[in-house]
Amino acid sequence: MADVLAEQDPSGPGPAWLPQRTEMAHLVRHHDWERTPLGPIGRWPVELRCAVVAMLDSPYPQNVLWGPSLVQLYNDAFRPTLERRHPRALGQPTADCWPEFWDFNEPIYRRVLGTGACVSLEDQPYVIAPSGVAATRYFTTAYTPIRLADGGVGGVLVTSTETTGRVLAERRLREAMAEARRAERELGEADRLKDEFLATLAHELRNPLAPIRTAAQLLARPRLGAAEVERASSMITRQVRHMARLLEDLLDVARITRGQLELRRERVALQSVVAAALEMARPEIDARQHVLDLLLPEEAPQLDADPVRIAQVLTNLLTNAAQYTPPGGRIRLQARLEGAECMLMVCDNGIGLRPEALARIFRSFSHQQPALERANGGLGVGLALARGLVELHGGSIVARSEGPGQGSEFVVRLPAARPARPGPGLPPADAGGAPSTAARRVLIADDNVDAAESLAILLRLAGHEVRVAHDGPCALRLAIDERPDVVVLDIGMPGMNGYEVARCLRREEWGRALRLIAVTGWGQDEDRRRALAAGFDSHLTKPFEPESLEALVGAGP
């Protein structure tokens, strides 16, 4: 074997023992080894020659590091790892070829050379720059000593297998199983919240339905006194308003989530917004015998805001404080200007908030207590709605509490309106004259018989002449025959929907002056735009206050 490895190649430079069939064997054969610490190839020790031959024939990425300076030789399979370092890496000391990894690799090389121990690393990351672009690549590497005849170690045989594809695939799999376990937990939480929400919704709807049913049964009794009639009617009105508020809160949260809620901004005095909120929240506060402290600045701050929506925010905060404060508690509503912001604070001395509750209090369907432990009503959407409305105005809302039993504070910050320039005064509120209360000929069309008949009774009691239809074609025929002054149309009707009926009526010469009022359960801004485009003058969303319809029907031409 030694004679074969020492034999020279008679056909050209280099020894005959070098393999002929690989590109790296050709480069090794023709390399100027006299310029390297290894010296002429013909003088290499037999152990180095054997290692080089085995390496060049190996299908695995390998390189031989020989001598104290760890001069590098490598095979064809190792070339892709070198990238731009090839071919200058051939015959180069390892420290010069891989300076960025020298601090990490040198102790390993020295250990193998000094002790003859084998070292292996699995999935070791290296930051390599293929084509000049840095990337992390992973290798499983074995460092094997190349032993000399005297028992010493002359070099290191390095066998590297790139495992980047497998490592990244396993990482993606782990992440997917984790970006999956997290989703499973979130779905479980969402499912729990859904179940609790549905149970709460059923509870919240049953609560007002029970007194409504009782009051309706009382009103059906023939010998009921006037006081009892008034009490039962008031009970129905209160409970229907409560149900309507629950429904509107749910719809508003959905509109905000879909980005479909539009603000109707105007310059408004803070006092008027507070007054509207107090009117809505006062029954809840009084029912629980709370004391309300109202601290407003003497100079009325102005807001550039949707007054209905900001009043809705304050109403939710005040009723929330009333519900979560034991009877006889104290609630404070305070407002003040801080620079360009108007700050509103609602404080109570109620049950307070746990630290973990503060983190989720503004989520939809979030409650401070499990459903069966709550004596307070609500669907858990009020605070989520408040946050959404405040943020739509460019403001912020935060909750604070010292803990259970320490009360709560909610702080709303809204941009204050800039001072208005002096201008002509507004005309008195009654400058246009009082609305007409003349009797009208009215057509009501709704496929819900009870809804249509109840509105007809309401308008007849107000002195109007009323006809009723329960589908679109019938409504159109009655309108053409009767030519009423006002037509109240439900949108979703069989045969022809309200939009189609309205368009047909507007095409009639006499129908151009007709007052058309849409009443529907669809109350988004897009629904209002569709109603106006179809020819309606007004749009009422069910359930609406009867006074709203009476005012529209009785208004002057």
Q: DSSP characters for 311-340?
A: HHHHHHHHHHHHHTS-TT-EEEEEEEEETT
pLDDT reading at 261 higher than 90: no
Confidence of residue 424 (pLDDT cuts 50, 70, 90): very low
Instruction: Give the integer Cα–Cα distance in Å for 62 and 79.
Output: 9
Instruction: Give the integer Cα–Cα distance in Å for 210 and 212.
Output: 5
Confidence of residue 437 (pLDDT cuts 50, 70, 90): low
Q: What is the pLDDT of residue 212?
A: 85
Work out whether the CA dihedral 318, 321, 327, 330 comes out positive or negative.
Answer: negative
Confidence of residue 409 (pLDDT cuts 50, 70, 90): very high
233-256 mean pLDDT: 80
Q: What is the pLDDT of residue 14?
A: 62
| Token pair belonging to 219 | 């009103």
> 471-498 pLDDT, tens per residue?
999 999 999 999 999 999 999 889 999 9
pLDDT reading at 499 higher than 50: yes
> 65-94 pLDDT, tens per residue?
999 999 999 999 999 888 888 899 999 999
Give the start-end residues of each E strand in 427-503.
441-445, 465-469, 486-490
pLDDT reading at 4 higher than 70: no
Name residue 231's amino acid.
Answer: R
pLDDT reading at 453 higher than 50: yes
- Range of weakest confidence among 239-243, 307-311, 349-353: 239-243
Within 13 Å and on the Cβ side, how many CA atoms surround 427? Answer: 4
Which ranges of 178-289 would DSSP assign to H, the alpha helix? 181-219, 226-257, 270-287
The values of phi and psi at residue 17, to 5°, are -75, -15
Q: Which residue has better confidence, 118 or 419?
A: 118
Question: Which are the contacts of 494, defined by CB distance < 8 A and separation ≥ 6?
Answer: 447, 471, 472
Direct distance between the N- and C-terminal alpha carbons of the chain, in angstroms, rounded to an integer: 118
Within 13 Å and on the Cβ side, how many CA atoms surround 141? Answer: 21
**SS3 per residue for 77-120:** HHHHHHHHHCCCCCCCEHHHHCHHHHHHHHHHHHHHHHHCCCEE
Q: Which residue has better confidence, 371 or 541?
A: 541
pLDDT reading at 419 higher than 80: no
pLDDT reading at 155 higher than 90: yes
46-55 mean pLDDT: 93
Cα distances from 58 to residues 29, 76, 118, in angstroms, run 17, 9, 19
Q: Which residue has the tokens 């009490």?
A: 231
Cα distances from 199 to residues 31, 367, 399, 473, 487, in angstroms, run 83, 13, 26, 41, 40
- Cβ–Cβ < 8 Å for 126, 136: yes
pLDDT reading at 442 higher than 90: yes
Mean pLDDT of the chain: 84
107-111 mean pLDDT: 93
Q: Which residue has the tokens 């809302």?
A: 397
CB atoms within 10 A of CB 541: 19
Among the listed residues 375, 326, 373, 374, the one whose alpha carbon sits nearest the alpha carbon of residue 352: 326
Q: What is the pLDDT of residue 133?
A: 66
141-145 mean pLDDT: 94
pLDDT reading at 427 higher than 70: no
Confidence of residue 548 (pLDDT cuts 50, 70, 90): confident
For the stretch 191-202, what's the b/e string if a residue is b when 16 or more beta carbons lie within 10 angstroms of its beta carbon?
Answer: eebeebbeebee
- Cβ–Cβ < 8 Å for 540, 518: yes
Instruction: Give the integer Cα–Cα distance in Å for 331 and 507.
Output: 57
Cis peptide before 543 (omega within 30 of 0): yes
Instruction: Give the integer Cα–Cα distance in Å for 283 and 164.
Output: 68
The secondary structure of 337-376 as a DSSP string is EETTEEEEEEEE-SS---HHHHHHTTSTT--SS-GGG--S
pLDDT reading at 7 higher than 60: no
Q: What is the pLDDT of residue 6?
A: 45
| Domains of the chain and CATH, by start | 2-175 (3.30.450.20), 181-257 (1.10.287), 266-415 (3.30.565.10), 441-554 (3.40.50.2300)
Instruction: Give the integer Cα–Cα distance in Å for 498 and 485.
Output: 17
- In which element (H, E) is residue 267 found? strand 266-269
Q: Which residue has better confidence, 365 or 337?
A: 337
pLDDT reading at 527 higher than 80: yes
Pick the most confident of 3-7, 256-260, 274-278.
274-278
DSSP-derived 3-state class of residue 513: helix
- Cβ–Cβ < 8 Å for 497, 491: yes
> 286-299 pLDDT, tens per residue?
989 999 999 988 77
